[in-house]
Structure 1
Amino acid sequence: ESWDGLTASNAGVYPQIVGSIIIVGFMAVLAFPVGIGAAIYLEEYAPNSGFRGRLATLLEVNISNLAGVPSVVYGLLGLALFRRTLGFGTGIVVSASGTLGLLILPIVIVSTQEALRSVPDDLRQGSYGMGASRWQTLREVVLPEAIPGTLTGTILALARAIGETAPLVIIAVATTTYSPPSGLFSSATALPLQIFAASANAKPEFRHGVVPAAAVVLLTLMLLMNATAIVIRNKYGRET
């Protein structure tokens, strides 16, 4: 869909707000369990020597490098994986969430690893000394201590993902829609794409009206998400 025939007074952002929330929400469901699980394995279970140890070290180095890769590269990866290989439709929620999930996955892994490393080793040794297994120590001692740091990484990952435009443009997410997505396999758009499309519109009322309004909504949404995550992080921090 395009902006042709649409007036600035009718260019609402409700479908884009709902689309952004659904895309980011499903992205979190896909990326966070995988990222946290990978970080736990690399930090707590991967051996430090031998072939498996060298392989784990190589994976850690590559994951750290992937955290700095430009987002447009993840857009190309998402296009190849979800559109070409898996055959998903163009610009649907699943493709958008999966692509952004690939984008934030290295950030989640690295931040969770840092949070796990910050847990004092004395706590682990004390738990082992009381007869706890590795899994019991991880579940009851290490993870509660690492939750605040993990949530901080989650904040950074979500903040980056919700403002991304390039990956969504590459996988052909619609620049504007007139209704919110009805499911995971329906077309969706996001606030950054509306800002991008409106800024390129020839009509000045779009550039000077729709763009600032959509930008304020996007910033407000990001601030609300960050504030919620910070409150949760501080709550867990006080409890631990």
Structure 2
Amino acid sequence: MGSPVLDKGPEAGVPEVRRLKSDGTPWRERLFQLSLWASLAVGVVFLGCLLVYIVVEAWPRLNFRILTNFPDIIDPSQAGAQSAIMGTIWVIGFTALYCLPVGFLTAIYLEEYADPERWWNRAVEINIQNLAAVPSIVYGILGLGIISRGLGFGQTVLTASLTLSLLVLPTVIIAAREAIRAVPQSIREASLALGATQWQTIWRQVLPAAVPGMATGSILALSRAIGEAAPLLLLGGLTFITFNPTGPESAFTVLPIQIFNWISQSRSEFVSLAAAAIVILLVILLAMNSLAIWLRNRYSHRW
């Protein structure tokens, strides 16, 4: 015996479907959506209030002196963050120099050459995933014990950049692997069918298509490194420097350490200095994230 809804024709099934949909618990869905919007609103409001407070505090000190002057404990009105800004550039520059080639080559090996059935390749992949979730302070301890004291590099730009390289290397590898994996297998097969070797296929076909994703992930990883203060404080990054680094063996300070130093001061003038340094750090981070988004939208491929 047929269904009464089907016997009446397809038009009769529309009210039945509506009735079945209305028999659920829409108030629970509405409550869930309301809770999501409320959570989002709370986060946005708190973030907006925090940004407004920082900008208001920093406004009197947002001038060229904050960019061109060195820190000054005696006269905060003439103090600046030039040494911290230049130290940040030096540290992040050497961090990129160390971690990006290693990360890209590791990703190429794991995606194109490594046999996933080999136990050591599986062990490497598992460890990379685990290392990406390790707290940054652990890398600071590792850098202090092995790089700074064990290898005798001391409290230098080299020590800081190597430590931050270890910190962001798993993220760079994971992002690069995802970008390489996103290239269709048919491109590799077509290149090999035309007589190209595996390395020629990787160099001329796979990497050009994967570079936008690899660059985006690398920029985001370096953005994380810029804001890290805990490992550098543990390494003994100096909080008061009145000179710019001149090489990898120079002493250094960075913006997060300089902000920590100014906030720790008792005089109210240093609060404005710290807020101005925070604004500079936020501008750098937003610029790097915007560059990553632009690269992704401009050069990404849709397969």
- Give me the TM-score of the superposition, normalised by structure 2: 0.73
1:82 correspondence with 2:150 = no
Structure 1 residues 112 and 61, CA gap change in structure 2 (3 angstroms): same
| CA–CA separation in structure 2 for the residues paired with 1:5 and 1:84 | 30
Q: Measure how far apart 1:213 and its partner are.
A: 0.3
Where does residue 210 of structure 1 map in the other structure? 273
Max Rg structure: 2
Alpha-carbon distance between aligned partners in 1 of 2:127 and 2:91, rounded to the nearest angstrom: 26
Q: Which has the higher contact order (CA 8 A, sep 6+)?
A: 1
Identity of aligned residues (%): 47
Of 198, 206, 225, 2:262 maps to: 198
Matches of 1:138 and 1:15, distance apart in 2: 42
* 1:226 counterpart residue number: 289
Contact 1:176 1:193 in 2 (8 A): no
Residue 34 of structure 1 aligns to a residue in which SS?
Answer: helix
In the alignment, structure 2 segments of 5+ residues that lack a partner are 1-70
* C-alpha distance in structure 2 between counterparts of 1:6 and 1:63, whole Å: 47
- Give the unaligned 5+ runs of structure 1: none
Query: Corresponding residue for 1:10?
Result: 78
Structure 1 Cα separation of the partners of residues 146 and 213 of structure 2: 31
What letter is aligned with 1:42? L
Distance, in Å, in 2 between the alignment partners of 1:106 and 1:222 is 20
CA distance in 1, matches of 2:249, 2:144: 16
Are the aligned partners of 1:36 and 1:112 in contact in 2 as well (CA < 8 Å)?
A: yes
Q: 2: distance between equivalents of 1:182 and 1:158? A: 21
Q: Which residue of 2 aligns with 1:61?
A: 126
How far the C-alpha of 1:235 sits from its partner, in A, is 4.7
RMSD: 1.7
Distance, in Å, in 2 between the alignment partners of 1:141 and 1:153 is 20
Contact (CA 8 Å) 1:147, 1:233: kept in 2 or not? Answer: no
Q: CA deviation at 1:234?
A: 4.5
Deviates more, 1:20-29 or 1:197-206: 197-206
Aligned length: 232
C-alpha distance after superposition, 1:173-219 (max 9, x if no partner): 11121111121101111001111111111112212x11110000111
Alignment of 1:135 onto 2:199: yes
